Chains A and B, each alone.
Chain A
Amino acid sequence: MSEPSLAMPLSVALVGNPNCGKTALFNRLTGSRQKVANYAGVTVERKEGRLRLPSGRKVRMLDLPGAYSLNATSPDEAVTRDVCLGQHPDEAQPDLLLCVADATNLRLHLRFVLELTRLGRPMVLALNMADAARKRGIRIDAQALERELGFPVVETIAVRREGAAALIKALDGHAPSIPTAPAADADLHAAARQLIASAVHMPDPTSPRDAAIDRWVLHPVAGLAILALTMLVVFQAVYAWGEPVKELIEASVGGLGALINATLPEGLLRSLLVDGVIAGVGGVLVFLPQILILFFFILILEESGYLPRAAFLLDRFMVGAGLSGRAFIPLLSSFACAIPGIMAARSIPNPRDRFLTILVAPMMTCSARLPVYALLIGAFIPDRPIGGLFNLQGLVLFALYMAGILGALSVAYIARYFGRHNEEQALMLEIPAWRLPNPLDVLIGLKERGMIFLRRAGTLILALSVLLWVLSTFPTPPADWTRPAIEYSFAGHIGRALAVVFEPIGFNWQICVALIPGLAAREVAVAGLASVYAISAPEGQAEELLSTALANQWTLATALSLLAWYVFAPQCLATLSVVRRETNSWRATAFWAALLTGLAYLASLIVYRLALILS
């Protein structure tokens, strides 16, 4: 093998067990210079970052999915195996494997490191979380480890700024060292034990602090109470904290619209800008705070180690409903957006469990539905305190979330009786040490997810808002028009045609118009309603709040019916394409879409008829 030229970037792959702090280390090393995409053909997340060593050499760093073994049991692990072996179709074999091991969990992690040494590739080992290890009285003789392994061993603290300095030094200037692997027939567990005996002193198997926390968090009664409370606090916070920021953005957007109205002469351009662009995108942007708050909580729960504990608590319950405890994480992620949720289902090794999770994940109330919920709740549900702690609006929001959860569980439960499931499904879930979430890692995760939402809001939603504006503006009404202009437009015609189908569940034609772009992305339905009502409102009242317009023009039964529709609503096209990709079957995707549409119609029908009877 020839020595790679110094002008070429060094390609480094970060590889290690799940929960070794690999991604935190990756964030520390590459900062914001990251590119997140998918590996071709599969939806395993591919994270690449760049950094420059003090010597000036560039490094291209790949953060491989966490794996316990090269004997892969999930698509994630298969990517790691293929890249390490140099068998991945789109990835060149990395120049250097940067193994990451949790210094407090070496018995498990060293086995994988030893398995990797058999590949005969240049390696460096980062002993991560060195600070936590020291605190627990764990003493590691890094030099002894280095001698035994035959490649550089460096202590790192991924959560500290200077925690990776020694690692950067080790990457820089050193000639790559090929490790000395254990014999082909050697027992890797025995070899790991031997390494630990010679170089590591570990007084306690677990930290007393973790044991104390887990006594409560994993307690059969207290643990479930803590879980329920956590979820309730998250949803209340989304509503209560998001609202003030939302109002601020709303005011700014309204001000911008008024400014343009005052500056530009009346005409098509002004109408396009104010009624199409600003009303559309602005109406969606205002919900960004709520979405970020929700993601913030999910990231904190993920980083702290609470999510696997929640999976432990709920596994039996989820199995009872035909799912697996591992499905909890994809399902919880789906509360933010079904797309990452469906993608997170990759961590479920069993294909049947995985498909079922994908099937029901979109019934979890995603953040894109929040704009619709928030609008309708704001317009129709009185803001009344209940029991001092909560208010009626928050409780209705909670009920909508619960309806989605119960619907998903019922579908999964019924699905158990169809299809074969004689294959045993595995849990085998590691419960990691408790960790204080690191602000930088939460920030990077938040930025990543916020950008995804904004990109969708900025491009897809803008395009659809303008399309809807065209549909609802043209053809322009005849000279002797008497009714609102929109009734003469394309949108009016399409909406009225659809209204026949939706009349039994109480939808008027304006809702039907908004439902069309709502299929492309649910949050667009609000933009659609804003456009439809802003444009059809008489001159001078265009700035009237959309919620006031709705409260005046809809009955409570219609509003409740639309809320029920959105609990199960046919999914956005982006979700549809992800389902198609993840299931790799149009038949499964069509089944999935038909099921959700049917459920939504049924739920709305029941709610509408009940509301009519009761009112």
Chain B
Amino acid sequence: MQLSELPRGTRATVVKVSDLANPDPIAARLRDLGFVAGEPVSLVAQGPFGADPILIQIGFTRFALRRSEAARVEVEHV
């Protein structure tokens, strides 16, 4: 499942971040920010316009990600 499809309040863990281009600076930055295998993630909030961007809690940090960015992150239910 992609992180962008994660329902609100569901716990999941990151499987991997996929590169959509070569190189993909957005994917590389996501990995630097902690989106790596095994990290717990959850969706905290959604933006008011078109439910985009989404607010993702990862570890102790929260990031606002556009859905297109979150689509690079593969997650699985805990």
Contact = CB atoms under 8 A, between A and B. Distances in A.
Of residues B39, B48, B50, B55, which shows the largest number of chain A Cβ atoms within 10 Å of its Cβ? B48
Given A111-B34, A315-B53, A316-B49, A426 B59 contact: no
Given A69-B32, A73-B25, A202 B50 contact: no
Interface string A199-227: 00010011000000010001111011000
Given A189-B36, A325-B53, A427-B53, A316 B64 contact: no
Contacts of A427: 53, 64-66, 69
Nearest to B28: A71
B73 to A, nearest CB: 11
Given A313-B47, A315-B52, A108 B57 contact: no
Contacts of B59: 107-108, 205
Contacts of B50: 316
Interface in B6-49: 20, 25-26, 28-30, 32-34, 36, 39-40, 44-49
SS of B interface (majority): mixed
A104 interface: yes
Given A68-B33, A71-B32, A428-B69, A316 B47 contact: yes
Contacts of A429: 53, 63-64
A265 to B, nearest CB: 67
B62 interface: yes
Contact of A325 (B26, B60, B61, B64): B64
Contacts of B40: 205
A428 B68 CA distance: 11
Contacts of B48: 220-221, 223-224, 313, 316
A424 B26 contact: yes
Interface in A292-320: 308, 311-313, 315-317, 319-320
A253 B51 CA distance: 54
A430 interface: yes
Interface residues of B, number: 33
Contacts of A325: 53, 64
A431 interface: yes
A311 B48 CA distance: 12
Given A71-B28, A431-B55, A426 B63 contact: no
A105 interface: yes
Contacts of A105: 60-61
A69 B28 CA distance: 10
A222 to B, nearest CB: 10
Of residues A68, A107, A189, A320, which shows the largest number of chain B Cβ atoms within 10 Å of its Cβ? A189
A189 to B, nearest CB: 5
B60 A316 contact: no
Given A189-B34, A312-B53, A428 B63 contact: yes
A429 B49 CA distance: 17
B60 A202 contact: yes
A338 interface: no
B67 to A, nearest CB: 10
B14 to A, nearest CB: 10
A106 interface: yes
Nearest to A68: B32
B63 A431 contact: yes
A580 to B, nearest CB: 28
B3 to A, nearest CB: 12
Given A312-B47, A315-B66, A428 B30 contact: yes
A214 B44 CA distance: 9
A312 B55 contact: yes
B62 A428 contact: no
Contacts of A214: 44-45
B19 to A, nearest CB: 12
Interface in A416-448: 424, 426-431
B21 to A, nearest CB: 8
Contact of A108 (B34, B44, B45, B66): B34
7 contacts: A73-B29, A111-B34, A316-B50, A424-B26, A428-B26, A428-B63, A428-B69
